[in-house]
Amino acid sequence: MTASNTLPSPRPDGRRADQLRPIRFQNGIAPHAAGSTLIEWGNTRVLCGVTIEDSVPRWMKEQGVAGGWITAEYSMLPYSTITRKARDISKGKIDGRSQEIQRLIGRSMRAALDLEKIGARTIWLDCDVLQADGGTRTAAITGTYVALALAINSLRAAGKLTDQVALKPVAAVSAGIVNSQPLLDLSYTEDVAASVDMNLVMNAGGEFIELQGSGEEASFSEQELAALLALGKAGIARLLECQQAAINSTTDRPANPPASGS
Ligand code: UDP
């Protein structure tokens, strides 16, 4: 997004600099998926679905690579943006931005799951943006982790996972500098006005999986970088709690609740 420093302060939605937009997960939104959730993060909403196939790509078999495979697809639905965004299929090729984002989602989830332990399976991560208002990639990663955990839990409950497969929680958030002020979790209006834009992907151990940071027709100092990292790190800690609560809310529920009146 282009730089301009015209955004009024305080933030358009009245948030503090270190405040996340409200976040909510609606699990089980896609019943045919092994795990799914609709992450609603402010006005950004992303459908995250996980499908597990009992096979691996041919190259893995041919090269004798042990374990499973994980792959991600990201797209924005045509009506997710203010002006209609044509589907990739109508252009005949995938958008460069979508490709970059889906690779990021794949890398992030590979950090969450030990592929050697899941057996000869392919895990498909599908992220479809229903409504875009900034931070769709961070919402896709944060939501996909929840969907992945639900899928792994259901596989385990069905007795299909023999090894102990431990998931390492992963979440993502954006931060940026707007009107010289470091802010957590930029909305679209803030993203457009930001002079520095950063995306952080981190795990529950406080380690970084990916950092994307760039000055938009601007540069940034080490001090500003430190401020963005501090905001991001605190945001990730809160997101990890929200994810866990969302996972528990589904997992704690009996798989087949008794029929009412019985
Ligand atoms: N956006 C849009 N159309 C596009 C790409 C982006 O309307 O083709 C908007 C959308 O609100 C998105 C925001 O611009 O969330 C910021 O886009 P960016 O590429 O920085 O990725 P994101 O912040 O969504 O991860």
**Mutational test site, ligand 1, from 41, 76, 137, 188, max ligand atoms within 8 Å of CB:** 188
Q: Which CATH superfamily is domain 3-254 in?
A: GHMP Kinase, N-terminal domain (3.30.230.70)
Buried b (16+ CB within 10 A) or exposed e, 4-14: eeebeeebeee
Q: Rounded to the nearest whole angstrom, what is the distance from the C-alpha of residue 253 to the centroid of ligand 1?
A: 35
Q: Closest Cα partner for 236 from 209, 215, 214, 197?
A: 209
Q: Does the beta carbon of 191 lie inside 6 Å of ligand 1?
A: yes
Atom of ligand 1 nearest to the CA of 97: 19
Looking at residue 10, its pLDDT comes to 79
Q: Does the beta carbon of 41 lie inside 6 Å of ligand 1?
A: no
Looking at residue 227, its pLDDT comes to 97
| 3-class secondary-structure state, position 233 | helix
Residues with pLDDT less than 70, the chain: 1-9, 162-163, 252-262
Q: Does the beta carbon of 110 lie inside 6 Å of ligand 1?
A: no
Cis check: omega of the bond before 10, within 30 degrees of 0: yes
Name which residue sits closest to atom 13 of ligand 1, judged by CA. 134
Is the torsion defined by CA of 198, 204, 205, 210 positive or negative? Answer: negative
Q: Rounded to the nearest whole angstrom, what is the distance from the C-alpha of residue 136 to the centroid of ligand 1?
A: 7
Looking at residue 252, its pLDDT comes to 62
- Average per-residue pLDDT for the chain: 91
Q: Rounded to the nearest whole angstrom, what is the distance from the C-alpha of residue 132 to the centroid of ligand 1?
A: 7
Domain ranges of the chain: 3-254
Tokens 């992030």 correspond to what residue? 108
Atom of ligand 1 nearest to the CA of 132: 11
| 3-class secondary-structure state, position 42 | coil
**Mutational test site, ligand 1, from 41, 178, 191, max ligand atoms within 8 Å of CB:** 191
Looking at residue 78, its pLDDT comes to 97
Looking at residue 165, its pLDDT comes to 81
Give every CB contact of residue 85 below 8 A, 6+ residues apart in sequence.
Answer: 76, 77, 78
Q: Does the beta carbon of 81 lie inside 6 Å of ligand 1?
A: yes
Atom of ligand 1 nearest to the CA of 174: 23
Q: Does the beta carbon of 85 lie inside 6 Å of ligand 1?
A: yes
Q: Does the beta carbon of 121 lie inside 6 Å of ligand 1?
A: no
Q: Does the beta carbon of 135 lie inside 6 Å of ligand 1?
A: yes
